[in-house]
Amino acid sequence: MAVDETMNSAMDEEENLEELESLVIDINSKFQSCTDKRSDDEDRWLQAYHNYRGKYYKNIHFTEHEKSRVFVKVTKTKVLAAYGQIIDVLFGTGKFPLTIEETVVPEGIDEYAHMNPMKEEMGVDQIEPQIEGNLDYNPQSSQEEMGDNGGLGFPGDGNDLPPGATFNNLGGVNLGGLQEEFEEADLSSGPSPVPEMPQIKPAQIAARRLHKLIEDQLDESDANVALRSAIFESCLLGTGIIKGPFTYNKTLHKYSNAGNGREYQAEQVKVPKVEFVSIWDFYPDPNARNMEEAEYVIQRHRLNRHQFKDLLNRPYFNKEAIYKCLEMGPKYDKKSWETSIDAENNSYGDLESNRYEVLEYWGTIDAMSAREQGLDIDEEIEDFEEVQVNIWTTNGKVIRIVENPFTPFRIPYQSFSYETNPYQFFGIGVPENMDDAQAIMNGHARMAIDNLALAGNLVFDIDESALVQNQNMEVYPGKIFKRQAGVPGQAIYGIKFPNTANENMQMFDKFRQLADESTGIPSYSHGQTGVTGMTRTASGMSMLMGAASLNIKTVIKNIDDSLIKPLGESMFQWNMQFYEGDLPIMGDFEIKATGSSSLMRKEVRSQRLTMFLQTIQNPSIAPFVRISEVIKELAYSLDLDPDEIINSKDEAEIYAKIIGYQNAQQGTSQEAPIPGQQPGMETPGGVPEQGAEPNNSGNGEGIDPTNNPAMPGEMAFSGQVEEPA
């Protein structure tokens, strides 16, 4: 029996190995298809990379007579200018360009909820007259004109309610994840009917809390660094790739007080992680034109031995398969593009001998194959149906296979283009747009330099028959040539070549302007010197800079739509599925990318709120406005946290009393009599007021002493001042 069991287990292992090998073959086949499909794109990227580096690519050949090999790095300047402008717009506020707001009509959570803090003290009977007074309530016409509680129904609908009946329970209140926080507050759904009655915005509170949470998660995962790297590669090669969010076990370093000191206690928590993926290592479905159409994606990893061994510590990796790969040694297939990129670095090591090539596959396999690999697939799924999986392979072995953990299923990659190619997956970058202009500028620069090498020196025509033979033909100041015949001065001629450098440089400048137009990045926007035309005035320069920013705004829109918004939605889904904290973040949210247009809207909103605050200073308008809500919105539009800088109603009342007390003290100190001064006397040192000057013009408009008698201290006063007793 033991022998039979051993043979059966061996057969099972062989069958399982065959299944794994067939899975590896399938993934390698798809990887080869992706490689073949993007071969033309790799040539474009290599050309763009060499133009950025200032190196001539393999398609440039020089003749034997061309001496100059100069390369003018205009492409590098344009790429860095585009990158700098995009970064300045996206990260000008120092925060990740993503915001979360409640939808216009929230579902599953109330937009407003109001409460009456005076209810317990006054009672419902006392509150209702105040409410009725504020709403111009008339008991005799309430059912005819206002329906149930001031317009909640219509006359004659049969749903009329007595006054005040709807303030405590307006069809129930839905606070979403805030229910526990406000469980002690007697809240009703809808906005408060009077300004004096407090209200909250549950949907807005939940959205802003989720925004703070995601902003903190992105900051801890260095998402800004990953996004900057992807933006640079999109400017250079046309496409940027971001991976994530995916679950990552982060170690929290904590310490607790012990008897002999502090004791270290590490804690593992699940956090979302975002990474940058180079376009060189990204192989999408060859038939897809965008990420939505991609059936699968393969990422190629180049790992050293330490990085490969570190996979043992990550969840769901097959340790036995990894150990077998370590015993087999490194295996790496160097690509042609790697050879071209590394050609300028002669000291580059041998990749084949010290690197592991690992393929990470995100896509679909049939349910039957997934069950054979040990995956727990829902029984309702038929064997011929496809399931989403994540598979890692290397050296012909599967080292990880799990079902796609995300709900709803998604491939955790975001791809965005600098300039979208509507019929291709990969976009177009700055170097490709100005490739021809760069080549022509290099050609005219080389021609100008070669011409200057001739025009800057003399070429000599020598008649050897007129000179003594076997002379040294070297030319230097004071050189003497011996003649044996001929007319003097006719043996040696100095020939000067014409200088065509000016014409060549004019063509160079012309194609530099064409490079500005083809890229949409004019030279004056990144520091070109010289004042000409409209750039001579500040207003003209402002107009030109505004026009130049249109191209960058288009790129920002691509980043917003293709990267930031999908990334924000993925972060929201990750938190709904994996977040282990107790922060109430349930609600109806809308993900918005804060690109240039969003930043402008926020700036305009803050200006309008400031103007509105000035308007409501009018005492006749102020009672109709909730000033606290306006101040909160103004703080939020300025990227300030209202909860941190704005006092609550009780705190505001306390500070108002303190400020009023201080003002009263200042007023008392100013009106206090000076010691030693008698009551009724003016403060000494003042200048007495001058009386009206007499009118001697004879027009009858002189001073009437009866109506305007002179007072003590005035020039016209003639009476006696009584001394105080």
Domain-located, residue 181: yes
- For 196-210, 401-415, 525-539, which range has the lowest pLDDT when averaged over its residues? 525-539
Structure confidence at residue 357 (pLDDT): 92
How many C-alpha atoms does 347 have within 13 Å on its Cβ side?
0
Residue 276, C-beta contacts closer than 8 angstroms, at least 6 positions apart: 225, 226, 227, 229, 230, 241, 242, 243
Q: Does 616 score more than 90 pLDDT?
A: no
Angstrom CA distances, 653 to 130, 140, 549, 658, 660, stand at 22, 38, 48, 9, 10
In the predicted structure, residue 502 carries a pLDDT above the cut 80: yes
Domain annotation covers residue 381: no
pLDDT, greater one: 653 or 147: 653
> What is the per-residue pLDDT for 44?
92
Above 90 in pLDDT, residue 296? yes
Q: What's the confidence (pLDDT) of residue 450? A: 86
- Report the pLDDT value the prediction gives residue 594, as an integer from 0 to 100: 63
- pTM as predicted: 0.69
Q: Residue 126 falls within a domain, yes or no?
A: yes
Mean pLDDT of 588-615: 65
Q: How much is the average pLDDT of 279-302?
A: 93
State the amino acid at position 162 in one-letter form. Answer: P
Q: pLDDT at position 249, please?
A: 79
Q: What is the CA radius of gyration of the chain?
A: 41
- 403-415 pLDDT per residue, tens: 888 888 889 999 9
Please give the backbone phi and psi of residue 390, each rounded to the nearest 5 degrees, phi first: -125, 120
**Which pLDDT value is given to residue 250?**
79
Residue 118 lies in a domain: yes
Q: What is the pLDDT of residue 725?
A: 45
317: Cα within 13 Å, side-chain hemisphere: 19
Residue pair 258/249 in contact (Cβ under 8 Å)? The answer is no
Peptide bond connecting 673 to the previous residue in cis, omega within 30 degrees of 0: no
Q: Is the pLDDT of residue 381 over 90?
A: no
Looking at per-residue pLDDT, the higher value among 93 and 63 belongs to 63
159-192 pLDDT tens trace? 454 444 333 334 467 777 777 777 777 777 777 7
Query: Measured between alpha carbons, how far is 442 from 87 in angstroms, rounded to an integer?
Result: 29
How much of the chain exceeds pLDDT 90, in percent? 17
Instruction: Please report the beta strands in 204-260, taking only residues with DSSP state E, as ranges in sequence order.
Output: 239-258
Residue-averaged pLDDT of the chain: 75
What's the rounded mean pLDDT across residues 583-589?
Answer: 69
Cβ partners under 8 Å of residue 85, min gap 6: 521, 525, 549, 552
Q: What is the DSSP letter of 107?
A: S
Q: pLDDT at position 68, please?
A: 84
Alpha helices in 62-101 (DSSP H): 74-90
DSSP 165-210: TTSS-SS----GGGTTTTTTS-EEES--SSTTS-EE-HHHHHHHHH
Least-confidence region, from 467-476, 622-631, 694-703: 694-703
The pLDDT of residue 302 is 92
pLDDT class for 280, splitting at 50, 70, 90? very high
Q: Please determine, for residue 605, whether its predicted confidence score (pLDDT) is greater than 90.
A: no
Q: Is 477 helix (H, G, I), strand (E, B) or coil?
A: coil
Q: Which string of DSSP letters, residue by residue, matches 614-661?
A: HHTTSTTTGGGS-HHHHHHHHHHHTT--HHHHS--HHHHHHHHHHHHH
Instruction: Give, for 2, the enclosing helix (H) or strand (E).
Output: helix 2-37
Residue 175: inside a domain: yes
- Give the residue with greater pLDDT, 382 vs 348: 382
Most confident of 17-21, 245-249, 535-539: 245-249
Domain residue limits at 163? 112-200
β-sheet bridge partners, residue 113: 189, 200
Neighbours of 202 (CB within 10 A): 28
Question: Is 264 among the domain residues?
Answer: no
The letter for the amino acid at 88 is D
Distance of alpha carbon 475 from alpha carbon 457, whole angstroms: 12
Q: Is residue 150 part of a domain?
A: yes
Report the number of distinct structural domains present in the chain.
Answer: 1
Cβ contacts of 189 within 8 Å, gap of 6 or more: 110, 112, 113, 170, 171, 172, 173, 174
Q: What is residue 706's DSSP assignment?
A: T
Q: What's the pLDDT at 55? A: 87
Region 373-397: mean pLDDT is 82
Q: Centre a 10 Å sphere on the Cβ of residue 564 and count the other Cβ atoms it contains.
A: 25
Task: Give 535-573 as a DSSP string.
Answer: GGSHHHHHHHHHHHHHHHHHHHHHHIIIIIHHHHHHHHH
Give mean pLDDT, residues 678-706: 48
| Structural domain includes residue 144 | yes
Q: Is the pLDDT of residue 244 over 60?
A: yes
Q: What is the mean pLDDT of residues 479-489?
A: 77
pLDDT band at 339 (very low <50, low <70, confident <90, very high): confident
Residue with tokens 């009725």: 132
219 pLDDT more than 80: yes
| Predicted confidence (pLDDT) per residue in 420-472, tens digit | 888 889 999 999 999 999 999 998 898 888 888 888 888 888 888 888 888 88
Residue 57 clears pLDDT 80, i.e. is over it: yes
Q: Cβ(655)–Cβ(648) under 8 Å?
A: no
Whether the per-residue pLDDT at 308 is higher than 60: the answer is: yes
Question: How many of the other CB atoms lie within 10 Å of CB of 57?
Answer: 16
Output the pLDDT for position 386.
82
